[in-house]
Amino acid sequence: MAPNPAPNLAFVASDAPIAKQAATALANRYGAVTEDQADIIVALGGDGFMLDTLHRTQHLETPVYGMNRGTVGFLMNEYAENGLRERLAKAEEEVINPLRMRATSIDGTTHDALAINEVSLLRAGPQAAKLRIYVDGKLRMAELVCDGALVATPAGSTAYNYSAHGPILPIGSDVLALTAVAAFRPRRWRGALLPKAAGVVFEVTNPEKRPVMADADGKSVPNVAEVRVHSAEDVSHRLLFDPGHGLEERLIREQFA
């Protein structure tokens, strides 16, 4: 039986000089093709650049292997120039679904976006936001007074969600985290765990007086009146990790840090 041919690799880098230098060195050593010709895309940067790469290349359905040349590298593997093809041959694949956000501004315009980590609502003025929360069409909270609220995926549960004291979710769990940011009323509300298939609607009370912005992985929408969030089961992202260092292991390890 003939051996499997070496996969074609595309190298993409963030704007950081250290990332660009790494991309040049790897391309010179292993050869490089364009993203649409690649069997594997190697992303060099931090987590923010990995999210940008996944969003930008989702139409290709090509797996992405990240190596950390940035500040935060939860979604990245350790950087090493040697042995890349051997690492890729042994890599484990994780498939994740993003969230789909539809935000309606106070002027009635709608804005659609996908979020791999979380969809968040944040107050945009000096006064706390007042939110009304529906889950699958049923009113679950008539008034949440807070700095904001978010819905996080398991992959994003260690990011902003964790900083807001939300739970870390196992990568294979079919749940989402609904977490308040600095809740004032009800002060002790710790958020909720929802089925992955749940649809969440946030209504902003008095958005002219208490302006709120919505954000999906860095895509911001100002002055929102309503935000709808649900899992985008029709969109999949393929990530590659070194054995023993995949998202499942990282999420478990993070809870014992």
Say which residue, 159 or 143, is predicted with more confidence.
Answer: 143
The mean pLDDT value of the chain amounts to: 93
Q: Give the integer Cα–Cα distance in Å for 251 and 111.
A: 31
pLDDT value for 2: 44
User: Which part of the chain has CATH 3.40.50.10330?
Assistant: 9-96+236-254
For residue 47, indicate whether it is catalytic. Answer: yes
Q: Regarding the domain delimited by 99-231, which CATH topology (the fold level of the hierarchy) does it fall under?
A: Tumour Suppressor Smad4 (2.60.200)
Q: Give the integer Cα–Cα distance in Å for 95 and 234.
A: 12
Q: Give the integer Cα–Cα distance in Å for 218 and 113.
A: 10
Between β-strands 175-181 and 192-195, what pairing exists: parallel, antiparallel or unpaired?
Answer: antiparallel
pLDDT value for 257: 66
Structure confidence by residue, pLDDT tens digits, 62-105:
999 999 998 877 889 999 999 999 999 999 998 999 999 999 99
Between β-strands 148-152 and 192-195, what pairing exists: parallel, antiparallel or unpaired?
Answer: unpaired
Binding-site residues from annotation for NAD(+):
47-48, 117-118, 147, 155, 158-163, 182
pTM, full prediction = 0.87
pLDDT value for 253: 74
Structure confidence by residue, pLDDT tens digits, 24-35:
999 999 999 999
> Of these residues, 39, 47, 174, 217, which one is catalytic?
47
Give yes or no for a contact between 47 and 158, defined as CB atoms under 8 angstroms apart: no
DSSP assignment of 124-175 equals -SSSPEEEEEEETTEEEEEEEEESEEEEE-TTTTTTHHHHTTPPP--TT--E
User: Which part of the chain has CATH 2.60.200.30?
Assistant: 99-231
Please give the distance of CA 103 from its chain centroid, rounded to a whole number: 17
Domain 9-96+236-254 = CATH 2.40.50.100: no
pLDDT value for 170: 83
